């Protein structure tokens, strides 16, 4: 069983992945600055798994924090990690347009500092949270990993730069084992309803917004355009259940630790697209009532259709998504109904 460091492990994807890794028997140290997150998430992960997690409050841009994490021996928290799963980062597109310096500092410089600390400590295995945002307005759908990298906002640029840094590192020496996982649209929640997505403020993304309409926190969903060249005119995305995504991390880690040093670049998606209206109807089924919505103008920067070609992940990891849209909506609603104010 491996000893793992999870940066940003208290977040939406981090907490679900922590649960899957604990259940697989791994030992976890979680680093989180709790900027947009609540420590209750990890308490519930411990409750669900019956296992302990070592928690470190801090962030990667703080040298003292990295020193504490990687210092070995009786006084260090971490010491020898077998691998790091690096979730920590900022991900709001609009915020990144207003604060590019912050995004480059956290998403690129934070990653660089982490990698330097890993190298110094002799830890060369990393699973990195990347994003389908790298593909920008995709030229082909479904999108293979070989598609052009053409991000269209500072968030995407910072992720693309971090991916490039990882490729440069992998090319510099033969000891690195790196997986760059490009997430499509992570949604849903653990079926217990105990952990789920808890966005700060007004949600930017469709699924948490619909969830908040269903629970009565928002009056209506605004649908950004019904004149896209899609099945019903609304935007199409590849929604992936967060538990499938968590299992994708566990599978990538297993392959990395068992195989030769390598650089893996993988799409994690279902390969299926659903429109905004299909998600809305799925959520209505789950919560048992009609949800109010209004069609408004397109949102700047949106693509019509973004769907993964996940065949490489299937071939290399033996992983594929197992949960469909109905399961996503059922689990998402169980979480939102039981926690109308998230973890607060
Ligand atoms: N949408 C609405 N109303 C809303 C929110 C979204 O109609 O209130 C629509 C969008 O126009 C789009 C679809 O719902 O067609 C999905 O939008 P999201 O904001 O949920 O997701 P995006 O695909 O735009 O982007 C998300 C993340 C990105 C990430 C990307 C990966 O926000 O950071 O998925 O594919 F890169």
Residue 207 CA: which ligand 1 atom is closest? 20
Choose one of 185, 221, 292, 301 to mutate for the ligand 1 pocket test, by most ligand atoms within 8 angstroms of C-beta.
Answer: 185
Find out whether 341 and 201 touch, Cβ atoms under 8 Å. Answer: no
Catalytically annotated residue among 155, 183, 293, 343: 155
* The pLDDT value given to residue 37: 79
CB of 302 shorter than 6 A to ligand 1: yes
**ω before 142 within 30° of 0 (cis)?**
yes
Quick one: 324 exposed, middle or buried, by C-beta within 10 A (0-12, 13-18, 19+)?
A: middle
d(CA 295, CA 7): 38
CB of 36 shorter than 6 A to ligand 1: no
* The pLDDT value given to residue 74: 46
Handedness of CA 142, 88, 24, 122 (dihedral sign): positive
CB of 91 shorter than 6 A to ligand 1: yes
d(CA 337, CA 215): 6
| 3-state secondary structure at position 129 | strand
Handedness of CA 40, 45, 51, 55 (dihedral sign): negative
Helix, strand, coil shares of the chain, percent, nearest 5, are 40, 20, 40
Catalytic annotation present for 155: yes
Q: Give residues with Cβ within 8 angstroms of 341, minimum separation 6.
A: none
d(CA 54, CA 32): 11
Domains observed in the chain: 3-187+240-269 (3.40.50.720)
* The pLDDT value given to residue 76: 55
d(CA 59, CA 150): 29
* The pLDDT value given to residue 152: 95
- Nearest partner of 135 among 149, 146, 145, 154, judged by Cα: 149
How many CA atoms are closer than 13 Å to the CA of 5, on its beta-carbon side?
32
H or E segment to which residue 130 belongs: strand 125-131
Task: Give the residues across from 185 on adjacent strands.
Answer: 239
d(CA 20, CA 243): 8
* The pLDDT value given to residue 63: 87
* The pLDDT value given to residue 287: 98
* The pLDDT value given to residue 67: 86
Distance 224 CA to ligand 1 centre (A): 10
Distance 58 CA to ligand 1 centre (A): 29
CB of 223 shorter than 6 A to ligand 1: yes
How does pLDDT run along the chain (344 residues), one tens digit per residue? 999 999 999 999 999 999 999 999 999 999 999 877 788 999 999 999 999 999 999 999 998 889 889 886 544 565 689 999 999 999 999 999 999 999 999 999 999 999 999 999 999 999 999 999 999 999 999 999 999 999 999 999 999 999 999 999 999 999 999 999 999 999 999 999 999 999 989 999 999 999 999 999 999 999 999 999 999 999 999 999 999 999 999 999 999 999 888 999 999 999 999 999 999 999 999 999 999 999 999 999 999 999 999 999 999 999 999 999 999 999 999 999 999 999 98
d(CA 157, CA 247): 27
d(CA 235, CA 323): 21
- Rama region for 79: left / alpha / beta (φ>0; ψ in -120 to 50; rest): left
Task: Give the residues across from 6 on adjacent strands.
Answer: 30, 85
């Amino acid at each position: 069983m491996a000893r793992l460091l999870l940066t940003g492990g208290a977040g939406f994807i981090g907490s679900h992945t922590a649960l899957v890794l604990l259940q697989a028997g791994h030992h976890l140290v979680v680093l989180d600055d709790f900027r947009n997150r609540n420590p209750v998430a990890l308490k519930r992960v411990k409750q669900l798994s019956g296992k302990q997690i070592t928690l470190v409050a801090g962030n990667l841009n703080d040298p003292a924090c990295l020193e504490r994490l990687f210092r070995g021996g009786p006084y260090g928290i971490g010491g020898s990690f077998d691998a790091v799963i690096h979730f920590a980062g900022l991900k709001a597109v609009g915020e990144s347009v207003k604060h590019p310096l912050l995004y480059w500092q956290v998403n690129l410089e934070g990653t660089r500092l982490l990698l330097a600390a890993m190298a110094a400590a002799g830890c060369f295995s990393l699973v990195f949270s990347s994003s389908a945002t790298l593909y920008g307005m995709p030229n082909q759908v479904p999108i293979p990993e070989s598609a052009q990298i053409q991000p269209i906002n500072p968030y995407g640029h910072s992720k693309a730069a971090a991916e490039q840094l990882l490729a440069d590192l992998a090319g510099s020496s033969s000891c690195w084992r790196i997986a760059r996982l490009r997430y499509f649209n992570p949604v849903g929640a653990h079926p217990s309803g105990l952990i789920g997505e808890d966005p700060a403020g007004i949600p930017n993304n469709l699924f948490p917004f619909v969830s908040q309409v269903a629970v009565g926190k928002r009056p209506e969903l605004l649908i950004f355009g019904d004149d896209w060249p899609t099945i019903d005119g609304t935007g199409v995305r590849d929604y992936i259940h967060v538990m499938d995504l968590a299992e994708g991390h566990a599978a990538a880690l297993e392959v990395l630790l068992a195989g030769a040093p390598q650089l893996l670049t993988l799409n994690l998606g279902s390969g299926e697209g659903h429109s905004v209206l299909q998600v809305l109807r799925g959520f209505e089924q789950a919560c048992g009532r009609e949800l109010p919505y209004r069609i408004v103008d397109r949102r700047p920067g949106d693509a019509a259709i973004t769907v993964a070609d996940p065949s490489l992940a299937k071939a290399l990891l033996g992983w594929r998504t197992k949960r469909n849209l109905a399961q996503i909506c059922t689990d998402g609603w169980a979480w939102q109904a039981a926690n109308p104010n998230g973890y607060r």
